Amino acid sequence: MQDGGLGTARGLVDQTDACAAPGWLSAQAPVDFSETLAAGDYHLPVFPAEVAEWMAPGPDQFIIDGTLGGGGHSEIFLKAGARVLGVDRDPEALAHARARLAPFGERFSTWEGNFSRLPEIPEIQMGERADGLLMDLGVSSRQLDSAARGFSFMREGPLDMRMGPSSPRTAADIVNRWPEADIVRILFEYGEESKARRIAGAIVRHRAEKPFVTTLDLANCIEKAIGRQGRTHPATKTFQAIRMAVNEELESLATALAAAPAVLKPGGRLLIITFHSLEDRMVKRFLKHRSTEFLDEPGWPEPRPNPDYQFRLLARKAIIPTAEETSLNPRARSAKLRVAQLLDLKP
């Protein structure tokens, strides 16, 4: 059976060891989200109107928010009367969302884990299926803006970049331990960085003298190696690539896409928001293949039924943000929303 082009970058080299991925943000004091953060201060959800329109939530529906984040999308579903299960691998995000969405009582629950592990959710294990599944693949503003999380090249912080404690490696493990060839590979494949070899060489030379410890250590090394041209920081693509490698983002997406049909009930809706061309390409190929009833190849006498035919595309093309949304939320400018519905294909 064809898998609809779920290819990812070649498998990550296992460079973890006993020193990798130390205690989860152990230096941070616990945060009381009920008092410190207003709803919009954690993360502003993208496509709020479009998600509400295409998910069409309502009473008696069960919706899985596979990437809970700040809980903005879940709140939309809850206000429409749906029951929502929020999934996230980040304990900090789960704590914030529980406090924010507590007024909805038992209609809101959470599960800590990567969205690639959706079949392990207790409700799914017990046979329940969802009316809708949302996967928003962006990094939350809270994660990007928190120096302690190590995602930003603009703020001094530890080279961490993990989205949750289950990630087997940190950014420091990659830049301080991985072979130069593997660093080149992820910069090319995940960051689409044309200067990958020069950057990787500079990283290896720097760590030979002194290991990287902070985000600014790495950002300054990259800027020194390739210089600065234009408004975009020279470390942008490298930080993106390392983050994707740390969290195995493309691998997780491929697994989640393959699992989605088993999580939804017939007629259930799948909404996926991407921010990166590699992610969107993977989602587009998957949905195109799974929504094609017949396959045809040169040399075949006639088209053949597609054994992976499962979805109907509700929107033929990707939905992009309005000018109004990008003016209010500049981080939404690269977002794309794709929508499909699971078919009821009874034998």
As a whole number of angstroms, the distance between CA 29 and CA 83 comes to: 32
Q: Among 98-102, 165-169, 289-293, which stretch is predicted with the lowest mean pLDDT?
A: 165-169
In this predicted structure, the answer to whether residue 314 has a pLDDT above a threshold of 90 is yes
As a whole number of angstroms, the distance between CA 163 and CA 140 comes to: 10
pLDDT at residue 8, rounded to an integer: 46
In terms of DSSP bridges, do strands 264-274 and 83-88 run parallel, antiparallel, or are they unpaired? unpaired
Q: pTM for the whole thing?
A: 0.86
pLDDT at residue 145, rounded to an integer: 67
pLDDT at residue 193, rounded to an integer: 95
Give the model confidence (pLDDT) of 151-180 as tens digits.
788 888 999 999 888 788 999 999 999 999
Q: How much of the chain, in percent, has pLDDT values that exceed 90?
A: 75
Q: Which residues of 117-136 are buried (b: 16+ CB within 10 A; e: fewer)?
A: bbeebebbeeeebbbbbbbb
- Bigger pLDDT: 147 vs 76: 76
pLDDT at residue 40, rounded to an integer: 47
pLDDT at residue 75, rounded to an integer: 97
Q: Which one-letter DSSP state was computed for residue 66? A: S
User: Quick one: average pLDDT of 245-269?
Assistant: 96
User: Quick one: average pLDDT of 118-145?
Assistant: 90
Going from the N-terminus, what domains does the chain have, and what CATH number goes with each?
1-6+44-146+252-284+329-338 (3.40.50.150), 168-247 (1.10.150.170)
Q: Among 99-108, 310-319, 321-330, which stretch is predicted with the lowest mean pLDDT?
A: 321-330
Residues 169, 247: contact at Cβ < 8 Å? no
pLDDT at residue 230, rounded to an integer: 82
- Bigger pLDDT: 42 vs 156: 156
pLDDT at residue 347, rounded to an integer: 65
In this predicted structure, the answer to whether residue 50 has a pLDDT above a threshold of 90 is yes
pLDDT at residue 146, rounded to an integer: 74
pLDDT at residue 29, rounded to an integer: 33
Give the model confidence (pLDDT) of 7-34 as tens digits.
444 445 444 333 333 444 433 333 333 3
Cα→Cα distances 299→225, 256, 302, 304, 327, Å? 51, 33, 9, 12, 51
Q: What are the residues facing 339 on neighbouring strands?
A: 271
Handedness of CA 209, 215, 216, 222 (dihedral sign): positive
Q: Is 159 exposed, middle or buried (0-12, 13-18, 19+ CB in 10 A)?
A: buried
pLDDT at residue 164, rounded to an integer: 86
